[in-house]
Structure formats: C-alpha cells, structure tokens
Amino acid sequence: PTVVRRLDYRPPDWFVPEISLDFSLDSLKTTVRAKLEVRRNGNHDRPLRLDGDGLTPESVMVDGTLLDSSGWRLEDGDLIIELPGASHVVETEVRIAPEMNTQLMGLYASGGLLCTQCEAEGFRRITFFPDRPDVLSRYSVRMEADKTRYPVLLANGDPVGAGELPDGRQWAEWHDPFPKPSYLFALVAGDLVANRDSFTTMSGRKVDLGIWVRKADLPKTDHAMTALKLSMAWDENSYGREYDLDVFNIVAVADFNFGAMENKGLNIFNSRYILADPDTATDADYDAIAGVVAHEYFHNWSGNRVTCRDWFQLSLKEGFTVFRDQSFTADQGSAAVKRIEDVRVLRAAQFPEDAGPLAHPVRPDSYMEISNFYTATVYNKGAELIRMMAVMLGGERFRKGSDLYFERHDGEAATCEDFVRAMEDGGEIDLAQFRRWYEQAGTPRVRATLSHNGTTAKLHLEQNVPPTPGQPDKLPMVLPLRVRLFGENSAAPLGDERLVLLDAAEQVVTFENVVERPVLSINRGFSTPVVVETDRSAADLAFLSAHDDDPFARYEAMQQLMVDTLVASVAGGKLDHGPVIEAVRNTLTDPALDKAFVAEAVLLPSESFVGDHMLVVDPDAIHRAREALRHDLGLMLEREWRAAYAATQANRFEYSPEAKGARRLRTVALGYIAASGADDASELAFTQFEGADNMTDRQGALTTLANGESTLRAKALEAFYERYRDNALVLDKWFTTQAISTRDDTVDQVIALSKHADFTLANPNRVRALAGAFTVNQRAFHAADGRGYAYLADTIIALDKLNPQTAAKLVPPLGRWRRFGEDRAARMRAQLQRIVDTPGLSRDVFEQASKSLA
C-alpha cells in the first residue's frame, strides 16, 4: 500500500464551494445524485480528481451536458475529468447498497436505520468528491424514502422543507449554512422518536435539541440530554463559544466503529454513549456518556468551525477537544478523581503505544491508513500537550490564546502549528522548544534526586527521551514539573509549590530555608506526561500518601509504593507487604477523604501496569504477586473493609458524586473481602447481586463472583444473562465480565463465548466486549501455550473481511512481543506473521500487523 507523508501536503487543485446532494434512499439500492460547483485553485491545468471508493458512475455531466465515457475515466476508484475552465458544474449519479456495507463507513444500515459515518474517508464511499478536510463546501441535502420504514429524515444544518410523494414515499430537505469538509457530512433515516428540549444561548437564541432513538429507548435519554445542556453552557462560560445553528440533533445507533461522531448539527453516537438508566448502566457508563456528549458537542468549535488542514493535524481537533471534555468533567464533579482516571487511561493505553512498534508523534509524519491514527497518542497525549500549555500559561493567558485561535481560524482548515502560534501570540510565551512535543514520539523519562545539606535542598533532574521507530535520537523537551517539598517531621509543606521548566538534559533546582529533611512531591497533578524515577523510600511514599496536599500526588505516592512492592516481590526480593497495608489502612480510615478518591487510591495497579515496570514481563509471576498482596490486604484490613462496606451499603440509587463514590468504594471493598478468602464473601456478593437497585452494584458483585470459584458464580452469570439477554449493551457487559476474569480457565471460556449464539462479528461493541476486553487481561491473553494469541489472530483475520477498521484496532496487543520472554515473543510474532500472510488483507490490518513485526 502507498504511504502518505505529511511533508507532501499540497493545497487542493480544485475547490467545491457548493454541493447539492439528492438521495433516493433504500437499504439495498440507494441512488445518490451529486451536483458540485467546482472552482480551479490557482493557475494549473490538472484535471478534476474526485475520490471514489467502490463507486461506479451511472452518469457524469459537466455544465448540464452528459459526458460520454471518453469524457471521464476511473483511476484507482477515483473519477478523473479534464475540465477546460476555471469553474464548472459537475453532476454524477451512483448507486450504493447500505445493507451490504459491513465496514460501517459511508452510508450503512444499522438495526433498520440508515446512517452515515464519513470521518476520515467514508464520504468517498457515498459519492465522488475531493474527500479531504481542506475542501470546505456549503451542503444542500434532499432525501426521499419510504414513509413507513423511514418516517424520520435528518441531515446536517437546519431543515428547510419536507413533503409527501406518491407510492408511500416522502422527502425532506436540509441546508447547512456553514462550509464544512466532507468528513462532517451526515444523514439518518429511520423510525425514530426524539427526546426534545431546548437551550437558549448566551446571545439569546433558542436552539431546538433532539436526541433520536428507537421508541423503546426513549426513557434512557434524559442523562444525555442533561449532559448536552451542561456542555452548551460550559463552552460559553469557559471558552466563550456559542452554538450556531437553530437545531442540534443526536442519533443513537447500535452498530458503530467507535464512540461517536461530531457531524455538524447531527452528531451520531454509538448507543452505548447515549442510553442509560439505573437498571442497565453503571456509574462509569453515566460518566462516559456525559464525557462523550460533551466531547462531540465541543467539536462544534474545536473541529467543525475550525477544522484540520490534513489528517496529520488530527490532534489539532482531537487533543484539544479531549482536553476540553476532561476539563468539563473535572468541573462537574471531583477534579482530583477525574485526573486520576485520565492518567490511568494515559498510562494504560498511550504509554505502551509510545514504547512499542506503533509509536508515532502526536503529529504523525506518515500513514498507510489514516483510520489507524485515531490513537491514544493523538487523542490523550495530544490532550496532555494542551494541558501543559495551559499549566505554563495559567487560565487567563490560556484563554487569550484560545480566543485568538478561534478568531484567527474560524471557517478555516488549520494546523497544529497554527494552534501553537495562537497560544504564543495570545498567551505571550515562547513555545519554540515546546513544539518538539508534536514532533518526537516516546515517553520522556525523568530521573529526580533530592539532596539536603544544611538549609539547602538541591533537586537534580535528568531527562531522556527513548528512541522510537524512525527516531533514534531525541532532543530535550520542555517538561513543566509542579514540585513541592514537605517536611518529614512537621508533615507540612516547606515553601510554596514551584513550576520547574525542565528544558535541558540535566538541571539542578535549589530550594533555600529547608530546615528539616524534605520529602519530594514531584509532577503534581501529573503536570507533564512523563515517567518520573526517584529514589524515594517506601517510608517517604507512605508519608506522601498520607500528607501531600495535592490529591493526585497522594494517589501517585500510593501507586508507586504498590508498584515498587510488586516489582520487588516478582523479582524475588524481600516480600514486605507491611508499608502498603499501613498506607492503605491510613487512607481507608481517613474521614477527611471523599469515598471516590479513597476507592481509587486503595486499588492495586493493574497487572499490565506492573508489567510496564519490568524488563521482561512475566504475566504469571505478576499475577501471583498481585493476588498475594490483594489477599494480605484483604486479610489484614478485613475489619476496615467490612466497615467501609457497611458504611456504603443501602444507599438508594441516586446519581450524585457522593452516591457514586459510595458505590465505587463498596465494590472495591467487596473485592478485597473476597480476596481475603473469607467464607461468606460469595454469599455477600450474591446478596449484593440480587438486591441491587442499580447496575453499578449488580455488575460489581458479578465481577467479584466471576473471578471466584463459588457455585454462585454460574448462578449469577445465568441470572444476569436471562434478565438482560435482549439488551445488547448489557449483554456486552456479560461477555466482558467473563473475558476479564482472573480465573485459570478464562482462555477456554473466552473461546467458548466466541461461539456463543449471542456473539457476532458484525457488531463492533460485541467484538470489543469479548476480544477487546480479553486482550486487557494480561495473564489470560498471555497464556504460555499461546492459545490467547491464536484466538485473537483468528478473530482479526475473520473480522478483517467484514470490518477492517475494527479488526485493525485489535492488532496492537500482539505487537508488544518485545516486552515478553522469548517463548511468548515467538508465539506472538508467529500470529502476526500469519495475519500478514493472509491473502486479501485490508490496508488497515496490514499496516498494523506489518509494523508490529518490525
């Protein structure tokens, strides 16, 4: 496959200021007529090239005249037309079959609906068009369809007309006044009902809001609606951004390749990020819904009004929008817990990516298939870059920078460089060296050593950015480190927090008036996305976990203590669980801490996070060490866990931060009680399972049972299945709970589940629920005999024939082979090779698998 390179960017040869689309919709035979006003860009004689993917023109007209087949040609699926003048009107007609579209890109069918997904390059599967984000057009869309099957017809922008047609058909027309790239085009046709509401913007305009779902799902849409209105108000208050159309619609669909899509005025969502009620959605689901609704809404400015010039700039809209949705969520509840969650995601998904064969800069330099670059690096590390700028600038100057960015580039297709320059000009800061964050892949490592002499403390800092594919040598980055010292005896801070900008390979920071032995609190709030190595003792970490005034740093100290303990015990070192147990006890019994924070802080790091701290990952040894520590924590603190469990029981369902925190702690406590080996643990879990009035408690109990050997396990799984077998989103949880089980037989169970009548490769959520979740289960996936790898490869190969994009997302876990011992590495490579050797492989999977082998 050809490689696309960032530095090869050229402006488009032709612009398309206006486009009219006319759809005659049918699930098997949809006719698409497109009328493009094209305008030559500059002085050149190159033909008009319209991207196409799997399309055959039924007819091609230029300026009203039908061309015979000598007037156009197809080249790699694209339509090429030689045009004499500076502007013309080009009309094409194609037929497509949404029902046959298993890739879920372009126009496709989902549960009787017709819907679209165009980002990044799906529009070319609908009609011939210059399908690149720097071609912005005004869209008029007319749709007609059977009135009974498709009573509701939606598209971008505002509705401008509708009417009846003979033969039981009807039509509707929508017009979007804002020029937009083709990836933001959308339409939906189906039998839908709406949860309707309205929002009055800061300048007093009333916007009609609609969340469209199947009739039975209507009662599950209130939470998403609340989140939408909160998001609209938040963007006005925090960024001065107002909504700009008269209507804003959201549609939920069951079959979707990722979370949701920010199409102008018509967001289309994976139903799992819309539908919620206490009986079927967990607190984590509620939070994810609010976060994704906010994210897609915020794209209206960071993405739609200002879009990307080319796909290498993807982080311009995604990194910024993730940062915006993270800030929104932090403002709605506990900012500390939100930060902990975000860092956990970064470490679980992005750090391993940055350390492996698929590592790439936040602004990549090349790709074979752009769909493979919707990554944790572009999204989550990209958000960290924005956050660092915000930390360096402070709120007010950051806002000046963002205001300038929106003002300068409204209506344009911009670059990451444009964003950085707006921050420099608006925020009055020099970001010359900071730009390396966009260029260099790899997670920087910082070594921090504190020494104390008399009343002076010196912090010695060293940074190092590891080599990554194509980037053997790295330059020093700018790392904004929030640092503070605490006195060991007084347990009080020694001076204010300092923002240290580490921008050289080595640097020494001096602290005066340090009158007692200082303990180092560094990278507070995770102010820079790096790995920090210190020589802090277990005692110092325990001290910080109890006394640091930055909640993130407190959590971090506890995590470090736990990781150090686990790594030492895997290495066969001294096995002393004491400091962890005491630190957990202190946190658990500290009445000043909120329950949600406590629940996060007392959780052991995941097995894969422990693995990330080892030279060679030994999944079985890590599992044993972690289970041993869990057992000791459960046993030694049994009284405290039971007290926490009792204190959080029987709060009737309420969706408030306090109630959520209580539920979270309850299930964590239940897990530890079970880990202690207590005889009544399964009974306790089963009672919680049966008595729960909400999914959080029910699933928490089910997870505990699913990890165990009790006979109640099968009983609970069966009851859960019977109760929810008709609810796809809840059935996904049933698959996931079994796929992440810590039991010895999980590989067999997962392989059996892949043959279950309710398993299907056609639905991406179901695939992720089983195969995707399984890859997170380090010990089961890395079963020594390689069956986990073979199962995953089988799934990838089978799925690739239907849905390459979703198949390609399953490849990276196999690419971590370098981190494992020879035996496992060989088995992982063998599966990657088998994938690469498969005839007819998609570009998506080929890119991921071949790069993973290198």
Cα separation, 266 vs 736, in Å, equals 31
Q: Is 374 in the site for ligand B3K (CB under 6 A)?
A: yes
Cα separation, 474 vs 530, in Å, equals 15
Beta bridge partners of 559: none
Pick 263 or 696: Cβ nearer ligand B3K: 263
Positions of E strands within 512-582: 518-522, 531-534
**Contact region with Zn ion (CB under 5 A), list: 22-30, 313-321, 368-376, 769-777:** 313-321
Cα separation, 120 vs 17, in Å, equals 20
In SS3 terms, 400-413 reads as HHHHHHHHHHCCCE
Beta carbon of residue 803, minimum distance to ligand B3K (angstroms, whole number): 12
Pick 33 or 295: Cβ nearer ligand B3K: 295
List the single partner that 297 binds among ligand B3K, Zn ion, none, CB under 5 to 8 Å by kind. Answer: none
40, 180, 214, 295: residue in contact with ligand B3K (rule CB under 6 A): 295
Q: Is 253 in the site for ligand B3K (CB under 6 A)?
A: no
- 121 catalytic? Reply is no
Q: Which amino acid is it at 166?
A: P
Cα separation, 596 vs 587, in Å, equals 12
List the single partner that 120 binds among ligand B3K, Zn ion, none, CB under 5 to 8 Å by kind. Answer: ligand B3K
137, 156, 371, 528: residue in contact with ligand B3K (rule CB under 6 A): 371
**Contact region with Zn ion (CB under 5 A), list: 319-327, 347-355, 716-724, 833-841:** 319-327
Binding letters toward Zn ion, positions 320-359, x by CB under 5 A: -x--------------------------------------
**Contact region with ligand B3K (CB under 6 A), list: 3-11, 35-43, 295-303, 305-313:** 295-303
What kind and span of H or E run contains 211? strand 206-213
Q: Is 428 exposed, middle or buried (0-12, 13-18, 19+ CB in 10 A)?
A: exposed
DSSP annotation string for 624-681: HHHHHHHHHHHHHTHHHHHHHHHHTTTPPP--SHHHHHHHHHHHHHHHHHHHTT-TTH
Pick 110 or 321: Cβ nearer Zn ion: 321
Peptide bond connecting 685 to the previous residue in cis, omega within 30 degrees of 0: no
119, 235, 548, 844: residue in contact with ligand B3K (rule CB under 6 A): 119
Pick 260 or 662: Cβ nearer ligand B3K: 260
**Contact region with ligand B3K (CB under 6 A), list: 1-9, 232-240, 241-249, 260-268:** 260-268
Residue with structure tokens 């052991």?
604
145: nearest Cα among 317, 36, 24, 235: 24
How many residues sit in the footprint of ligand B3K (CB under 6 A)?
12
Q: Is 844 in the site for ligand B3K (CB under 6 A)?
A: no
173, 217, 296, 697: residue in contact with ligand B3K (rule CB under 6 A): 296
DSSP annotation string for 740-794: T--STTHHHHHHHHTTSTT--SS-HHHHIIIIIHHHH-HHHHT-TTSHHHHHHHH
Beta carbon of residue 119, minimum distance to ligand B3K (angstroms, whole number): 4
List the single partner that 255 binds among Zn ion, ligand B3K, none, CB under 5 to 8 Å by kind. Answer: none
Q: Is 255 in the site for ligand B3K (CB under 6 A)?
A: no
Pick 310 or 318: Cβ nearer Zn ion: 318
Q: Please, are residues 211 and 194 in contact by the beta-carbon 8 Å criterion?
A: yes
Token reading at 393: 């600038």
Q: Is 261 in the site for ligand B3K (CB under 6 A)?
A: yes
Residue showing the smallest CB distance to ligand B3K in the complex = 119
Beta carbon of residue 302, minimum distance to ligand B3K (angstroms, whole number): 10
List the single partner that 374 binds among Zn ion, ligand B3K, none, CB under 5 to 8 Å by kind. Answer: ligand B3K
- Residue ranges in 467-526 that form contacts with Zn ion under rule CB under 5 A: none
List the single partner that 173 binds among Zn ion, ligand B3K, none, CB under 5 to 8 Å by kind. Answer: none
Determine which one of 296, 353, 600, 607 is catalytic: 296
Cα separation, 565 vs 581, in Å, equals 11
Q: How far is the first Cα of the chain from the last one, in angstroms, to the nearest whole number?
A: 16
List the single partner that 816 binds among Zn ion, ligand B3K, none, CB under 5 to 8 Å by kind. Answer: none
Cα separation, 21 vs 625, in Å, equals 61
Beta carbon of residue 286, minimum distance to ligand B3K (angstroms, whole number): 19
> 3-state DSSP call for residue 193?
strand
**Contact region with ligand B3K (CB under 6 A), list: 294-302, 429-437, 683-691, 756-764:** 294-302
Residues that bind ligand B3K (CB under 6 A): 119-120, 258, 260-262, 295-296, 299, 318, 371, 374
Residues that bind Zn ion (CB under 5 A): 318, 321
Active site residues: 296
